[in-house]
């Protein structure tokens, strides 16, 4: 058994969940443990309130490996885990060259420099985790409109700002029902230049669009895979390393400088 410890939701988004689900396909017997109350995985699921419950659950399940994709599972929790469970492999997803107390650090970012880690010998660099829907879709010869997707939550309301900025362009906007500004965005549903997609196939949106405005996160790897030119808007601290890599080939700007975008 392999346990995935991942959280997702309105406040923190769904990026960790999405990439972990791609990685989970490498294993046969998978279980998810999360503080999130809604199971959005195809696997057996356990809800916990805190890490103490997590440790108690691990004692009962006794898995071969635990894979954590959760920034809140800090050094204190990692140390406690390895003290209690010496024989269970602990793997940590990391994007920021953080110190980790574990058996394996997993990094799927492009341009990873293992020497930046304190203990590079335990670092395993894997290819970007691309979901099946991107691999299976056909890209039409004619692509129209600007694809916009700034995370499932978009806490800073950047999608609304982009609509005002680009209202004269055809926009293909992909959001989730967890978007904090959903009511305001729905007002644009019948706008002549705006196609608003809620909880729809992002891969299809990329395939049909000629340009994208996204974040320097997992979705940027998907855009590269789909050969979609894009501008990336940095909205969070954990996007720093991906943003640094993308700057070599793409335009990357900070959310505070949103109005500097030129198409």
Residues 6+ apart with CB under 8 A from 255: 156, 158, 233, 234, 235
Start-to-end CA span in the chain (Å) = 49
Let me know: does 223 contact 215? Beta carbons within 8 Å.
no
Tokens 């103490």 belong to 52
Q: Is 16 a catalytic residue?
A: yes
* Nearest alpha carbon to residue 220 among 109, 69, 114: 109
Tokens matching residue 104: 């394996």
* Nearest alpha carbon to residue 96 among 121, 79, 74: 74
Residue 62 has φ and ψ, to the nearest 5°, of: 50, 60
How far is 197 from 1, CA to CA, in rounded Å?
37
**How far from the centroid of its chain's Cα atoms is residue 105's Cα?**
17
Let me know: does 130 contact 225? Beta carbons within 8 Å.
yes
Q: Please pick, among 16, 47, 108, 181, the residue that the annotation labels catalytic.
A: 16
Q: 122, exposed or middle or buried, with CB in 10 Å at 0-12, 13-18, 19+?
A: middle
**DSSP H helical segments within 127-252, as ranges?**
132-135, 158-165, 182-186, 202-208, 218-225, 240-246
Tokens matching residue 26: 């490498």
Residues designated catalytic: 16
């Amino acid at each position: 058994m392999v346990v995935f410890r991942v959280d997702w939701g309105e406040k923190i988004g769904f990026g960790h969940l999405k990439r972990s689900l791609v990685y989970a396909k490498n294993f046969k017997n998978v279980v998810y443990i999360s503080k999130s109350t809604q199971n959005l995985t195809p696997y057996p699921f356990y809800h916990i309130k805190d890490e103490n419950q997590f440790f108690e659950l691990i004692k009962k399940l006794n898995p071969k490996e635990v894979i954590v994709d959760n920034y809140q599972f800090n050094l204190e929790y990692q140390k406690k885990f390895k003290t209690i469970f010496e024989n269970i492999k602990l793997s940590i997803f990391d994007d920021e060259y953080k110190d980790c107390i574990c058996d394996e650090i997993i990094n799927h970012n492009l341009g990873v420099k293992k020497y930046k880690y304190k203990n590079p010998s335990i670092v395993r660099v894997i290819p970007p985790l691309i979901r099946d829907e991107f691999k299976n879709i056909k890209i039409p010869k004619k692509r129209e409109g600007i694809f916009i997707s700034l995370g499932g939550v978009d806490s800073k309301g950047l999608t609304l700002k982009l609509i005002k900025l680009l209202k004269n362009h055809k926009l293909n906007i992909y959001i989730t029902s967890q978007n904090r500004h959903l009511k305001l965005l729905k007002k644009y549903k019948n706008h002549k230049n705006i196609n608003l997609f809620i909880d729809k196939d992002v891969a299809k949106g990329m395939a049909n669009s000629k340009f994208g405005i996204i974040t320097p996160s997992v979705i940027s790897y998907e855009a590269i895979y789909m050969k979609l030119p894009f501008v990336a808007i940095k909205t969070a601290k954990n996007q720093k390393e991906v943003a640094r890599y993308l700057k070599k080939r793409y335009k990357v700007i900070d959310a505070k400088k949103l109005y500097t975008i030129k198409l």
